[in-house]
Structure formats: C-alpha cells, structure tokens
C-alpha cells in the first residue's frame, strides 16, 4: 500500500513539475529520510512530505491564486502578495484531496516549508531543512549548514532561517511574519 502510494505520487509528480525540480525533489526525499532516521522521525512520513513539498511549484501565479480561490483556502495577506510562497499551501491541499493524505503532521510539513512557523514539529523542521541541504544544492554556506544540521536539528534550523531572512532582505523581498516567529523562537531554544 505504501509502496503503491509512493509510486503513484512519483508518476503524477513527473507530469506537473519540470525535470530539474523532479531531481531536486528526489534529493529532498533522500535528505528527509536520512534526517528522519537520524532524529527519530517516521521515514515514510518524511518521504511523502518531501515528495509532495514542491508539487505546485511550477504553477503560475494565476494557477496558484485560482486554486486558492476555487477551494476557498485561507491565506494571509503576506502569503498572497508573495505568491511564490503559496505553493506549499496548494501542495498540502492537493496532498489531501488527490492523494488522500490525512496525516496533519505531513500536511503541515508540506504547507509550511516555504515560510516555517512558530512551534514547528520535528517533521516540519526536517522538510524545511532537507529542502536547503539536499545533495543538488550549491550556494555559499550550504556546507556549513549541512554540518550544523548534522550536529543539531535546531541549530541547523536557526541557521537556515537566518539565511532565508538575510536573503529576502538582500533582494528587498517581502518577509513573511511566520519566518520571523520561527526564527526568534528557535533562537531562544538554541541559545538557552
Ligand atoms: Fe518549495
Ligand atoms: Fe523544494
């Protein structure tokens, strides 16, 4: 059953995301399973969340907004304005509707991978981080982040959130408040 679900997701995924993103997704799956095994999370949950996290990433702005409207998905103002962040929300909805995934932790991990949020579960942290450290990622600081994630999930998360905030500010992008909440909360946990 699980095998069938995973195969089905793979088959559908290939039809909605481009080959480069599919390769990225496979990298996120591997990283997420690795981190799940290392940090005591369910590897199947990590695999499914990772597989679906970017399912809607190649939707256009109009497609994302039409989807949100069609299914009356609740979206805050910042998320709607920074529409690139919407793909997590839409993917979580598709995971439930199309793939019958009802596990709230998996759905939250998919939904919140674009912003983080306060009180992230272990699975949410794993998916957020796997997205940044998968083997195909190559940017200044990625090796430092990989080492930190290896050492401690929360230390890695703080670094990844800091990196995101610095990046968003550098491009004068819209910073989602949930990213700030996540960062300040994890800062407290790491520094205490
Ligand atoms: Fe994403
Ligand atoms: Fe991703």
pLDDT above 90 covers what percent of the chain? 96
Confidence tier at 75 by pLDDT (50, 70, 90): very high
- Angle (nearest 5°) at CA 165 between 18 and 135: 40
- Cβ 39 vs Cβ 153: under 8 Å: yes
Ligand 1 mean position, distance from CA 74 (Å): 19
Confidence tier at 2 by pLDDT (50, 70, 90): confident
Ligand 1 mean position, distance from CA 192 (Å): 30
Helices (H), the chain: 2-16, 19-39, 43-52, 61-70, 77-81, 86-99, 104-111, 122-133, 142-151, 153-170, 177-191
- pLDDT, one tens digit per residue, over 76-130 is 999 989 999 999 999 999 999 999 999 999 999 999 999 999 999 999 999 999 9
Instruction: Please report the pLDDT score of residue 141 as a whole number.
Output: 95
Fold of 3-138: Hypothetical protein af1432 (1.10.3210)
Region of residue 119 (phi > 0: left; psi between -120 and 50: alpha; otherwise: beta): left
Of all ligands present, the nearest one to the C-alpha of 50 is 2
Class of residue 166 by CB neighbours under 10 A (exposed 0-12, middle 13-18, buried 19+): exposed
Ligand 2 mean position, distance from CA 54 (Å): 5
Ligand 2 mean position, distance from CA 25 (Å): 6
What pTM was estimated for this model as a whole?
0.97
Of all ligands present, the nearest one to the C-alpha of 27 is 2
**Mean pLDDT of the residues in the chain:** 97
**Domain range annotation of the chain:** 3-138
| SS3 of residue 171 by DSSP | coil
- pLDDT, one tens digit per residue, over 149-158 is 999 999 999 9
């Amino acid at each position: 059953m699980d095998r069938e679900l995973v195969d089905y997701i793979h088959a559908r995924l290939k039809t909605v995301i481009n080959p480069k993103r599919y390769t990225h997704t496979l990298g996120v799956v591997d990283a997420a399973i690795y981190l799940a095994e290392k940090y005591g999370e369910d590897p199947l949950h990590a695999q499914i969340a990772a597989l679906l996290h970017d399912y809607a990433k190649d939707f256009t702005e109009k497609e994302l907004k039409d989807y949100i409207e069609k299914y009356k998905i609740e979206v805050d103002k910042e998320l709607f304005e920074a529409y690139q962040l919407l793909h997590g929300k839409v993917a979580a909805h598709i995971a439930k509707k199309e793939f019958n995934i009802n596990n709230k932790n998996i759905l939250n991990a998919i939904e919140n991978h674009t912003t983080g949020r306060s009180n992230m579960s272990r699975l949410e942290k794993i998916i957020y981080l796997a997205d940044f450290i998968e083997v195909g990622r190559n940017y200044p600081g990625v090796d430092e982040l990989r080492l930190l994630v290896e050492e401690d999930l929360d230390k890695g998360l703080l670094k990844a959130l800091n990196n995101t905030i610095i990046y968003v500010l550098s491009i004068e992008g819209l910073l989602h408040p949930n990213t700030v909440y996540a960062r300040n909360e994890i800062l407290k946990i790491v520094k205490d």
